A and B are shown apart, each in its own frame.
Chain A
């Protein structure tokens, strides 16, 4: 039995994304991932006595950009606040964040699930700094003799995007997250590298009896770092809550954590044990006035976003599926557009990108971000194909060759002698020879065995190392027979 037989899920998500700035939000340290422990640090992000934060303007620019991409209102007046709690990975034992006046609020985005579209509200998005990372000498904090702190992450700018509790199924949640991450990726707000932890999710989930309009008691599951984790966690948590309710008990309002290895959520702290963060205004930073000119300047830099791009691709004659695949990452969509500028046949370009090129990248564990085949090279190859200078089969070989050597298709075709033989006289000569050498097949064909024709085509191809123009071969063969 599934929880859905009796209950409806209500879910909202807080998404923490790392803003793609070069330096940290309040100091000049690099935000680069990795690096020796405690090498991307300075007195400011270490929270040494007397140091003061200086706001990185670029972080504000990106937060505004994210807000615009998510149809948010951008605050004219915003400020930072301190969120106070003690934890050794927090160098000042408070996190500089935004409380009552976030930079963005009242946004929304559209998701499509099973062909139905739905609007998900964005309550707010605010800027904050990341914390450092505890490194334990043993397996976990409880089994370790000692713990160390790596402050390389401390002060990396984050945007926390809080959704309305608008999602009713796990599929909706995943669709929301995919769309959100895609938008942020397109807008260039974040690298959205999940494997590096640059996106993290906290989900708030509750159940209510089908048909009920009241909200049930929710639990919050913190720090999920992939779509898969969100899906598995929600599938587990909804069933867990359903069991609690089915037994006539109450769900406890609490913060839980997702144990990936066991596939369960575990209680972290109850509402009574919740931190009192004692938020208050950050007096070391001045409030920020964002004039409308600033907002418009940022708006002008917004690229075409996924939804608009999908619509445009559909008008080019691509299917919903094709438009969806091609826009699944900004890099792939940009690649498509760049090829289209040189070779404007959407169907053919889409086929090659989604087919052979994607397969090549996948086999080599690469993405369109660093695709060795330049868009113009793919376009040039498609032109050769269209002109009949190479066959479709040869084209595949050429593509692979561009991929490995980086050479332009015309060079490869010339060097490897891959030009298609479209010379009527030359082909006639070869075909005559093939016919002479294969009298039995000729007889079979004339005796009505259609299959023999294919064999003869194959022999011509073999003789020309596949370079013969197939249409021409067909035509000449038929004439000669």
Chain B
């Protein structure tokens, strides 16, 4: 396997120079997937045949001398909550077993238009609800750095597949940290774009006002290349924003001189493991050495983040998931009466975490509770936005750990609330709708630690610049799991 550590730019050059064909490249990745999947289990579906057919088409283009884009002919995989035409989309739930969408998510369509080669669909927490991928109804995914650990979640398959070299990049979705946390746990780069920067059309909704699709890659440059392809206004998503989309790779300069970085002190509380804190402190030093101006700052309303997030996200999910009733697609339980059929279907096909959240959300929206929960949570959300607005008026980016700990052991987190606590640094970003990136910042006991950078609305470029300088000056991205070293 000579390609797994190559960047998208390198792979593109190989293709353009005809040193390798897309069919060969796709074949190599498919072989690698076959070899690693028994241990990693990141893929719910592998679309080998379709992928090779697609690769062949790209090869024809190259043979005819057509110019190809930077992602053309290169394999990738999508989280299994992104609808793919004629390819099963399960959300890792029994409920959507056998559901084959008749349409592509906008991001899938855009990648297809860019010539990307879909090799499969990736495991996740059921309906994206969870932080370990353990709530998947299909199987557990292992962390490539330590197979006894979780890859994080909910985009666990997306992070694990990239970390294991099964694909050069993947897409995930992030509602409360679901791209950044698994990216941190698996030592890859994960971006949650500004709410509205990437279309949600075809992303199976968990919480509409928080969900956002984003790329997971090995390097910052790769990430920018993928964002180039998927970002931008979409008429099919009313919440997508018409904005002037830059070429994000233009921001990649190894220079953070004069960059003002705020470090919110609240992001160093709430159970932050000292070893992780140490890694982040070293990262701060690195930035200082590179000429950035670092200052401690405060986001005073952070203590209300978790309850506000859980009220809003569960309220929205209780309504978004109401459509799964066995009537016209997906799983259906047999029953004598129509209403019984719906009830039994839902009772049987949803897992416990999904049920727990729907119940909570239904409760929060019920008459008599609405004001006390939903309305109050929205007020908190406004306060959190204001906190960020004030901080980002002063600093270009905010810096924090992505998670308080490294990846948990499989089965370690049995208490749901403990699991929610692990998202305490990522959730506020979703509530505010801001962009944030998690990049590899070092290791604790051979497990990756993620550094989170938060920027202003549509300031993904600036995040990339800050992330790129750190990456180039530290080189953690070059570290790979032992598993992969053996394979090489």
Contact = CB atoms under 8 A, between A and B. Distances in A.
Do A and B belong to a common assembly? Answer: yes
Interface of A: 43, 46-55, 82, 84, 86, 88, 91-94, 141, 147, 149, 276, 278-280, 283-286
Given A52-B236, A54-B235, A276-B366, 7 more contacts: A50-B81, A50-B105, A141-B338, A149-B328, A278-B366, A283-B239, A286-B238
Interface string B139-168: 000000000000000000000000000000
Which of A50, A55, A88, A283 has the largest count of B CB atoms less than 10 A from its CB? A50
Contact of B101 (A50, A284, A285): A50
Most buried by B among A49, A82, A276, A284: A49
Contacts of B367: 276, 278
Given A50-B203, A280-B370, A43 B103 contact: yes
B238 A94 contact: no
A93 B103 contact: no
Contact of A54 (B200, B236, B327): B236
B130 to A, nearest CB: 18
A245 to B, nearest CB: 29
A48 B327 CA distance: 11
22 contacts: A43-B101, A43-B103, A49-B89, A50-B83, A50-B101, A50-B202, A50-B203, A52-B237, A54-B235, A84-B319, A84-B322, A86-B339, A88-B338, A93-B322, A93-B325, A141-B338, A276-B367, A278-B370, A280-B315, A283-B209, A283-B239, A284-B238
B165 to A, nearest CB: 29
Nearest to B341: A88
Contacts of B201: 50-52
B96 interface: yes
A94 B205 contact: no
Given A280-B315, A283-B316, A284-B238, A48 B366 contact: no
Contacts of B235: 54
B286 interface: no
Interface in B310-335: 315-316, 318-319, 322-323, 325, 327-329
Given A88-B342, A284-B208, A52 B322 contact: no
B101 A49 contact: yes
A88 B102 CA distance: 21
Contacts, number: 98
Given A49-B83, A50-B83, A92 B200 contact: no
Interface of B: 81-83, 89, 91, 96, 99, 101-103, 105, 200-205, 207-209, 235-239, 315-316, 318-319, 322-323, 325, 327-329, 338-339, 342, 362, 365-367, 370, 374
Nearest to A286: B238
A92 B328 contact: no
B342 A84 contact: no
Nearest to B361: A278
B366 A86 contact: no
A49 B205 CA distance: 7
Consensus secondary structure, chain A interface: loop
B362 A278 contact: yes
Nearest to A274: B367
A49 B322 contact: no
Nearest to B99: A49
B239 A284 contact: yes
Contacts of B91: 49
A276 B366 CA distance: 7
Contact of B238 (A54, A92, A276): A54
B329 A48 contact: yes
B365 A286 contact: no
B343 to A, nearest CB: 9
Contact of A53 (B103, B238, B318): B238
Contacts of B365: 84, 278-280
A67 to B, nearest CB: 22
Contacts of B96: 49
Contacts of B207: 283
A46 B328 CA distance: 9
A147 B335 CA distance: 13
B322 A94 contact: yes
Nearest to A47: B323
A93 B318 CA distance: 11
A24 to B, nearest CB: 14
B325 A278 contact: no
Given A50-B105, A50-B203, A52-B238, A283 B208 contact: yes
A240 to B, nearest CB: 29
Given A49-B83, A86-B342, A92 B237 contact: no
B238 A285 contact: yes
Given A50-B202, A283-B208, A55 B102 contact: no
Contact of B325 (A43, A48, A50, A86): A86
Contacts of A51: 103, 201-202
Contacts of A46: 328
A313 B263 CA distance: 76
B328 A91 contact: yes
A55 B239 CA distance: 11
A141 B337 CA distance: 10
A91 B209 contact: no
B204 A50 contact: yes
Nearest to A80: B238
B99 A52 contact: no
Contacts of A149: 327-328
Q: Which of A48, A82, A84 has the most CB of B within 10 A?
A: A48
Contacts of A147: 338
A43 B235 CA distance: 15
B323 A88 contact: no
Contacts of A285: 238-239
B80 to A, nearest CB: 11
A287 B112 CA distance: 32
Nearest to A93: B322
A50 B108 CA distance: 12
Nearest to A141: B338
Contacts of A86: 322, 325, 339, 342
A284 B200 CA distance: 9
B342 A94 contact: no
Nearest to B89: A49
A63 B48 CA distance: 51
Nearest to A282: B208
Contacts of A279: 365
Nearest to B208: A283
Contacts of B204: 49-50
Given A50-B201, A88-B338, A278-B365, A94 B319 contact: yes
Contacts of B99: 49
A397 to B, nearest CB: 59
Contacts of A53: 238
A53 B101 CA distance: 17
Nearest to B378: A281
Contact of B323 (A49, A278, A283, A286): A49
A91 B342 CA distance: 13
Contacts of A48: 101-103, 329
A92 B338 CA distance: 16
A54 B200 CA distance: 12
Nearest to A136: B338
Contacts of A47: 323
Contacts of B208: 283-284
Contact of B327 (A55, A88, A141, A280): A88
Nearest to A285: B238
A91 B323 contact: yes
Contacts of B338: 88, 141, 147
A355 B332 CA distance: 61
7 interchain residue pairs of minimum CB distance: A93-B322, A283-B208, A278-B365, A283-B209, A49-B204, A50-B202, A50-B83
B319 A280 contact: yes
Nearest to A83: B319
B249 to A, nearest CB: 29
Nearest to B196: A286
Nearest to B315: A280
Nearest to A280: B365
A279 B367 CA distance: 9
